[in-house]
Amino acid sequence: MKLDWVQGLRGIAVLLVVLTHGRFFLDGTPDEGLATALFLPGAMGVDLFFLVSGFIMVYTTRDAGGPRDAALFAVKRFARIWPAYVVVTLAWIFIKRDGLWFFDDPERLQALFRSLTMRPVTLQDAPFFGLVFPLAWTLAFEMYFYLVFGISMLAGRLRWLVLASWLAVTLVVLPMTAGGPTLDVRQYLMFDTPYLHLMTNPIIWEFVAGMAIGLLYLNPSIRFPNAALAWQAVFCSTGFVLWWGWSGAGGFHGPAGWGWPLALMLLALAIASKTVKLRMPHSLQWVGNVSYSMYLTHFLGQVVLTRWLDQHYLHTRSWNEVYLALLLAIPLASASHWLLERGLGGWTRRKLVLLVDRVLPAPPVPEGQEVIKMAKVAP
């Protein structure tokens, strides 16, 4: 089942991120302080993405397990994320970094290779890690958790024990050997292996919280006894998130920053949705459907918009440009979703699924079950 309220949350999250970056149009103006106060807390949209991602991973794989399911999980997520990311990263190099000069320096090429393989470039710059495309740091964490989650599925019924053991090692034991653990996502631990800095970053706890909320959601006995309590939980948790973010109490990414109030809100929404109908506008659900493309392309679109305004002497550094940036993000996301996610990503997905089918063919369906299945899909 498609959870409309989850798609709506994705839409809200990406719009917050777009506005967060839109504040840069007002840098150096008298309105810079106001723009920062209004839009910078919107960066919590990233934390909301991580929580929702953990929730969705549990929800969509609740009946899955074993090598074939793990392989299908991996190739579908890879096909959705990586091809579009590569195209946008190369576009960023040629548009923002002025093209071919980037390939003349071996250090820049090494940074590009690390970025395309989603590995840290600048270890002291956690959680961003200096990747060539500035927004790629979130995708690096996303792909890492996809990998860990997919590997745990190989264990079948023991998947949660395997996953919990791995997270205990990487988020508790390893940081203890290097000066941690902490909940500060800007931590720098004394690891020689670059990827360990990403694996041990406490922002991963947000994926874990999302998974825990997913498991609670799937438990039929956990629900609000009546609609009144459900709506109170929804409004109070959402209101607390707004206060925490825009009062300045949160301040930054991570479970100790914007993460934990968002986790409480997601928990309240998830459990409440089992008692009451959480309606989201169709337009917001559409934004949620294209949220990955909007996240990828909006920053590049803002760069192009700035240059176009400069070339035509229209760069006024006003609120009008924030509005234009938000407006431009919509067709860019639509085009990217069609061309990169569904086009290039869909082609990659089909090829990889065929490969999985050859290597790990689906088990034959018993004759009786096949008849039942045909009856279910009959018009």
Looking at residue 181, what is its pLDDT?
82
Structure-token match 């990828």, residue found: 296
Looking at residue 366, its pLDDT comes to 64
Read off φ and ψ for residue 363, nearest 5 degrees. -65, 145
| Number of other CB atoms surrounding residue 138 within 10 Å | 21
Predicted model pTM: 0.92
- Angstrom distance (rounded) from CA 344 to CA 348: 6
Distances (CA, A) of 22 to 38, 253, 266, 299, 303: 11, 18, 26, 9, 10
- Among 300, 250, 281, smallest CA distance to 93 is for 300
CA distance 70 to 148: 10
Residue found under tokens 């508790």: 172
pLDDT at site 361: 87
Q: Give CA 91 to chain center in angstroms.
A: 21
Confidence (pLDDT) at 102: 66
Cα 177–178–182 angle (5° rounding)?
100
Mean pLDDT by 10-residue block, N- to C-terminus, for the chain (379 residues)? 87 97 92 94 97 96 88 95 96 79 78 93 94 95 96 91 96 89 90 93 97 96 96 97 93 94 98 94 95 96 92 86 95 97 96 92 68 42
